[in-house]
Structures are given as C-alpha cells and as structure tokens.
Structure 1
Amino acid sequence: MKPLTLTLLCLASGLLPAQGLNSKKKSAAYSSQNTKEQLVHQSVQQETDRIFNKLVNVRRQFHENPELAGHEKQTQETIKQYLLDLGLEVQTDNYGQSVVGILKGDKKGKKIAWRSDMDALPNDYPDPETFKSKIKGIQHGCGHDLHMAVGLGIAEVLSKNKKSLKGTVYFIFQPEEETFKGAKEMINNGLLSKIHPDEIYGLHVTATPVGQIMVKPNEMFAYQKKIRIQLKNGLSEEQLNGLTKKISNALFRTSNGSKPWELQSIVDPKIGLTNPDTIFKDYLFTDGKFSIYSKNNQSFLEAYLYETNASHLDQIIPAVQKIIVDNGYQNQLVSVSFVQENPTVINNEKLTRSAIEILQNLYGKDAVAADYGQVPFFNDDFAYFQQKIPGVYFFLGGSNFEKGVIAMNHSPNFQVDEESIRTGVKSFSSLIIERLNKN
C-alpha cells in the first residue's frame, strides 16, 4: 500500500488529525504569541510615557552639571544610583568614571549591550536653555546629557518588563568619548572579557527632525585622517602656501559642485541624508587651509581630510608625494604620513537591516528614515566597540524647526527637543526586547 493511501485511510478513520485542524492550532498559537508581543510593546510605550518627565529632569540635571572627559565623577554617581534603584547589578571598576549596569531577564538567552557616552565639551557657547550649565567653560553641547537620559530610560523600561527578557542587557555608560579615548580604554581594561555581549547598540542625537531615527548599514561618517607633510627648510612662505593649495585642489572630489562641508544641508530633503542623491556621499576634501609651522629646521604642513570611500584611502599619500615631486621639491621632502586616523563607525549590515525591520514593523514605516550619506567632521569612538562586537549606531533627530530648536552638535545655541527622549526610550527598548527574542 502506498504511503499516501495509508494516510488518507487513517484520516478518514480518525487515527490522524486532519491538516486543517492542525493549521488552526498553529494559527491560534501564532495569534496568541503575536498578542503577547503587542502587549509587551504596549507596556513599553506606557512605561516610557510614565517616566518621561522624570527622564527630562535627569537630562536637565546632567545639562546643568556638565563634566569634562576624565572628570565625570558626579555624573557617574548619578547614573550608578539610578541603576541601583532599578535593582540592576552595577560595576564601576572598569575604567575611569565608567558605569556598567547589568539587567538579567527571567529567561536565558543572548547578551546585548547598549552604550551611552557621558562627557561634556570645553566651550562657553550661547545656550538658549533656562537650565544652563552652572560650570563656566563647560557645556553639554553635543547631546551626551540626552544620551544618558535615554540609556537610563531604556534600563528602567526593560527592568519593568523583565519577564519578557530572554537574556541579559548591559548598559555601558562610557566616559571620555570627546577625546576618543573612553571606549578603547574600557576594552583595554578587559570589559569585554567580563560581559561578553553578542551585539551592541548606541545612538547620537543630531540636527534631523525630532523623533526621526536614521540609520544605514556600513559607514555612518566619513573617514577622518590628519595628514602631515614634513619638508626640509628652504621653501618660502609663498611656496609653502602655493604647495598646500595644489594639494588641497588635488584632494578634492564632490558631486556636481556640491558642498558637503555645509552641515546645515544634512536636513535638506533635496540634498540631505535622506535623499538617494544626497551630496553627502562620494566626496574627499580637506578641512580648510593647511596649518603651517616650523620646528627643528623643518617645515610641517598639516590638515584634516574627509573621505567617504575606504578603498581610496591608500591612494592619498602617494598622490600627495607625487604633487610634491612634480613641483620640484623632491629634495626637500622628508615624509608624508597620517598622524591621526581614528576608526570610523561602521554598522553591521545584518543587524542594521534587522533593526530597521523590527522598528518599522512595530512603529510604522516612518519609524526609521533611510540614510544615504556619510557625515563629515564628526565621528564616535563607538567604532572601537564595533571592531570587537557586531553593532549598530543610530542617529536620533533632535531639531524642532517650528520651535526654532536646532540640534547642531558643537555649535552655538545647540538645543534639543526633549521629545526625542521619548522616541529613543520607546523605540530602542522595543528593539532590544525583539533582538533578545531572536535567539
């Protein structure tokens, strides 16, 4: 007897369940699971709304009491106490003023890290907020105060949804980001041998519209290099200026005469980051004029340059050497080198696409905006974590143009619409829950 005939006879006699009944059970199970997930994320939104004003106050406390890289003592104590009050295990013995909060879910699973940076900037720019810095010459002019509030908010929301967590979440509050030192030193001091995260996530508030999350796979920023040309003395000031102008012209590539150094254009719908034809891709330029100085009977020419294409980086030094030789200065040439070349933020492609899908499924197609460019001038030492762990770094919009709130980092009158805290806490709490569930 053929197997198919036997199966049909068994179905008819009631010895095997009908496929239709089995499908209904599967459908019911899926529907039940789907309902549970919806309830979890409803809880996330409700808890975010409940603690929102509290987080705003915490952010303002950080804003009023900024601390420079390496001096984040009061900031550390505030974060430590907040996490302890949530019932998290807290570690402060890794490096500097760092804090690591550990939240273990009720079920075993993967391990995910969320990183927030802590330090403020040494400047005294005009600040339109009523809760201005109380420390002269120091400001949270880059948004790290808001980053910490979002990190604490995610910790609180997830601690209230602990039963939904299949795994462990590490909240890494990292000092000394502005000096590009903190992440590297935390790793060098053995952080990742203690906590072993499988994935890591972080964000930076930026000048895009409030509530808008923006991300892309691979590079978020241009590659930033500081180039130094060392020459024997003997060239006049006029010759040195002429040489640097030729080098700058050679190290210049943009599309259709665009100006990617004009950062205010990142929000322009026609040429900004969200447009596939953005001006913030495929460029190379130097940051202003070369600085020229003499030391030990030698001349030094230095400038920062920004390149979007990693494969072009190895071509830059030979190109500069050729210009110097072609202009008759071969005998004066001592060396051409990169004297600063920090790694850039590179998002893991698979995790980025998963994050976009999760956020859009939960909060709608507009929950995440596509990013088609790479921002010059800025960078983040989150890149050091990404060298060790697959990770994703998001932009979180903080500007409210109708209210005149412009979240242009490191600029006078930097201001953030605090509704971005709500967006960040809700969205990334949900993201972490869903990623933990994808064991």
Structure 2
Amino acid sequence: MKRLTLTLLCFVSSLLSAQGLGNKKETTAHSSKNRSLLSVHQSIEQETDKIFNKLVNIRRDFHENPELAGKEKQTQEKIKKYLLDLGIEVQTEIYGHSVVGILKGGKAGKKIAWRSDMDALPNDYPDPEIFKSKIKGIQHGCGHDIHMAIGLGIAEVLAKNKKELKGTVYFIFQPEEETFKGAKEMLHNGLLSKIKPDEIYGLHVTATPVGQIMVKPNEMFAYQKRIRIQLKNGLSEEELNGLAKKISNSLLRTSDGGKPWELQSIVDPKLGLTNPDTIFKDYLFADGKFNIYSKNNESVLENYLYKTNASNLDKIIPAIHKIIEGSGYKEKLLSVSFIQGNPTVINDEKLTHLAIEILQNLYGKQSVASDYGQVPFFNDDFAYFQQKIPGVYFFLGGSNFGKGVIAMNHSPNFQVDEESIRTGVKSFSSLLMERLNSN
C-alpha cells in the first residue's frame, strides 16, 4: 500500500507543480480530483487483497480439473456461476463453451473487453504442484487457469466499484485457444453483433519474474510460417538431407550470433526481452530439422520458420528458390509455398503507450518493463480479436527463481507463483477503470 500511495502522491505533486500557482479554485479542484483517483485505486488494491485467497482456490480448482479445447463444459459452469453471483449479466450461447460477462457501470461511457482463455493441454508432464491434475493426460501447462482466476478477479473488483465506472466492461472467457480456433469462431458466430467493445485487453503468464508486466507496441511474437518444398523424385536421402541443411543455414539470421530458439534466454538480463540489444529482436530461423517424406511420386520437405520482420516475409520463398537452383536441383523443383501461417499478436501502438503510462503512474515505473523482442514458437489467437478491435496483450511474469518456480509454458514442471494473480487483478482492474473513465 505504501508504494502505491507514495507513487501516486509524487505523480499528483508533479502535476500540481506543472500547473504553477494558478487559480486557487482550480488548484483545489485538481487536488480533489487526484485525491479521488488515489482513493479509487487504493480501494482496488484493498479489494484485490481481500479476494486473493478465494482466487487462489478457484485457480487450483481449475488446475485440478482441466478440460481440453472444445470440452470446457465444467469450466464454463464455474465461470458462469462466479459471474452471476457478482450480479453480472452472462451470455453463453455465442460459441462452444464460451462465457461473456457484461458489467454495466453506473454512468454512460465507452465499452472495453477483457479476454481470458480457458482450455488446458493434452500432456502428462511432471507437475510439481500438490494440486495436480486429476485427469490423466490433461494439464493446465500453459497458465490458462491463472488467466481465468485473474479475469474473475478483475470482474469482482470492478463489480464492487460499479458506481465509479463510466461505461461497460465485457469479460470474454474464450475456449479453444490452444487449437487457435476459439477467438475466430466467436467472431464468426456473431460476437461483435452482441457486444461492441471499443478496446480489448488480455494477458499471458510467462517465464519472466513474478509480478513483472511486460509489453510493447506492435508484434509480441514472431511470425510463424510453415514452408513446403516439393521436388520430383530422384534425390537420395543424403541429397535431401543435405539440401534441407543448406536451406536452414542459408536462411539463418540472428543478432550477434544469438540463439533465439533457446527460450530460456528470454529472462537473461543481457540476452533477454528487457535488453534493448536482445537476441530476440531480429532473426529468421528454421525449427530444427526439416520433415522429409515422399508423397505422390514427389519428395517433400516441410518445416516451420520463425521471423521477426513482416516486411521481409515475401522474400523467403524467392530466397529458397535461389538456394535450390544454386545447389543444382533446378530441374527437380516443383514448388515452394507457405502452407500455414496464423496471424500474430500485434498491439495497438497508441493504446499500448496509454496503458504503460497509466500503470506506471499508478504503480511506479518499475511496474511495467519494456519488451524489445518477439518471442518465437508461441502465439495466441487473441490476434483475431485485434484484427477487429484495437487491443493490447501483456506478458505477466510467473516465475520465482528463488523458490525454483519456473513458468516456462508447455514444459515439464511448469509452475506459476500465484502472487502473479494479485498483480494481474490489481494492475488491470486499475487499467480498465482508468480507460473507462478517460475521455
């Protein structure tokens, strides 16, 4: 509480100094406004603390009872009941096991959406938690249980501050994120004919330190493209492997010889995302070895490519043509094509800067870390919402290295420090409140 109070008082003081002596009535009104601001966000922090243990318990319930994409029936019922108990209107008919909560504020204003994903993963990795999954072969190994707890927490905090809200908050609990299907299907099935948000926000827990919020304008993840190369039969296994290796080596580009495929480096202070010279800001690489197989009297080479610069994507296929022709296989080449490429998360530049400013003004400069890179391998279908609605997607740190808690998604022994729930609820309740109450 002290940090919030001191930070806000310093912020208020700087604002008053910038105004100069001015008119006494104007200064008094300004001071009153900032005292009101302080009071609201102190209340948000206090409410977050009050419900924290409850949110931890529901997170653990989600963790023990995970459901795969398209099967989130129990999860839907739990979310629906929680929201209804808060007096929030609920819609569940849009798509699959989705839930949309609608919280109307005490005054008219803009409309803002917060999205949380719901589904678990099909794996049976070692889980260090005492509240392990009760369902064999299914785990919340990506943190969606944390996301749902944070979404419900924000809903409860804002519901308790309903009279202060100018506008409407939509809480979108989205199924089928792991299959990159849920967001697209919710939109296809008329989500935006039922709700019309002006802005949308969401987060993903990640391996950075617990409580650290990280964000940047534009792309948060690398572009992922699956490339297919089709050749006439006649090349030996050795020739095909040699060609695949040559393509990988020729395409490879990294910053200062870095290895952006080594994801553990994202938290390294010298190599990671918070360093302006990060190895994750300018690269192109293939995902290990090419998959090579024969089909319909053809030899086929396939692999995923990860790229940070969208403007150079159209140069990859011509580059591969040159490599193949330069290797003496021009007459064997049938085609080179991208066969898969999902959209990537792209944060609205203006909203991102506004969000950073709000969070840092309320909770200190250290509350939001700058992100200078793009994470490979991962992506999020939140990108489909951003194609229709200006939005911002945040990383929320979940690791506690001192306790051996490492929140590396989709990995064995994935674990999240639950203090990240407190940070998420407090910070993003404040953000939504400020965005709703802004002009």
Instruction: Give TM-score scaled by structure 2 length.
Output: 0.95
Q: Which residue of 2 aligns with 1:363?
A: 363
The one-letter amino acid of 1:421's match is: I
The one-letter amino acid of 2:224's match is: Q
The one-letter amino acid of 1:193's match is: S
Q: What is the CA–CA distance in structure 2 between the aligned matches of 1:73 and 1:334, rounded to whole Å?
A: 47
Structural RMSD (CA):
1.0
Deviation track 1:316-359 (CA, whole Å, cap 9, x = no partner) reads: 01111111122222222221111110000010010000000000
Q: Which residue of 2 aligns with 1:58?
A: 58
Deviation track 1:122-147 (CA, whole Å, cap 9, x = no partner) reads: 00000000000000000000000000
Does the residue aligned with 2:302 lie in a helix, a strand or coil? strand
Aligned counterparts, 1:59-98, within 5 A = 59-98=59-98
* Cα 1:21–1:370 shift into 2, 3 Å: closer
Q: What is the CA–CA distance in structure 2 between the aligned matches of 1:256 and 1:352, rounded to whole Å?
A: 29
Q: Which residue of 1 aligns with 2:143?
A: 143
Aligned counterparts, 1:167-186, within 5 A = 167-186=167-186
Deviation track 1:84-109 (CA, whole Å, cap 9, x = no partner) reads: 00001100001111000000000000
Determine whether 1:34 maps to 2:34.
yes
Q: What is the CA–CA distance in structure 2 between the aligned matches of 1:153 and 1:43, rounded to whole Å?
A: 14
Q: What is the CA–CA distance in structure 2 between the aligned matches of 1:422 and 1:388, rounded to whole Å?
A: 30
Q: Which residue of 2 aligns with 1:285?
A: 285
Q: Which residue of 2 aligns with 1:309?
A: 309
Q: Which residue of 2 aligns with 1:387?
A: 387
User: How many residues were matched structurally?
Assistant: 420
Aligned counterparts, 1:344-355, within 5 A = 344-355=344-355
The one-letter amino acid of 1:186's match is: M
Shift of 1:21: 10
Determine whether 1:111 maps to 2:105.
no
Unaligned runs of 5+ in 2: 1-19
Q: Which residue of 1 aligns with 2:397?
A: 397
Q: What is the CA–CA distance in structure 2 between the aligned matches of 1:251 and 1:123, rounded to whole Å?
A: 33
Q: What is the CA–CA distance in structure 2 between the aligned matches of 1:299 and 1:97, rounded to whole Å?
A: 42
Instruction: Give TM-score scaled by structure 1 length.
Output: 0.95
Does the residue aligned with 1:331 lie in a helix, a strand or coil? helix
Deviation track 1:8-57 (CA, whole Å, cap 9, x = no partner) reads: xxxxxxxxxxxx99811111111111111111101100000000000000
Shift of 1:390: 0.5
Shift of 1:299: 1.3
The one-letter amino acid of 1:139's match is: Q
Does the residue aligned with 2:170 lie in a helix, a strand or coil? strand
Aligned counterparts, 1:196-275, within 5 A = 196-275=196-275
Q: Which residue of 2 aligns with 1:10?
A: none
Shift of 1:192: 1.2
The one-letter amino acid of 1:144's match is: H
Does the residue aligned with 1:431 lie in a helix, a strand or coil? helix
Q: What is the CA–CA distance in structure 2 between the aligned matches of 1:137 and 1:127, rounded to whole Å?
A: 12
Unaligned runs of 5+ in 1: 1-19
Does the residue aligned with 2:224 lie in a helix, a strand or coil? strand
Q: What is the CA–CA distance in structure 1 between the aligned matches of 2:383 and 2:22, rounded to whole Å?
A: 49
Q: What is the CA–CA distance in structure 2 between the aligned matches of 1:51 and 1:256, rounded to whole Å?
A: 47
Identity of aligned residues (%): 83
Q: Which residue of 2 aligns with 1:14?
A: none
Q: Which residue of 1 aligns with 2:7?
A: none
Q: Which structure's CA Rg is the greater one?
A: 1
Ranges of 4+ aligned residues in structure 1 off by more than 2 Å? none
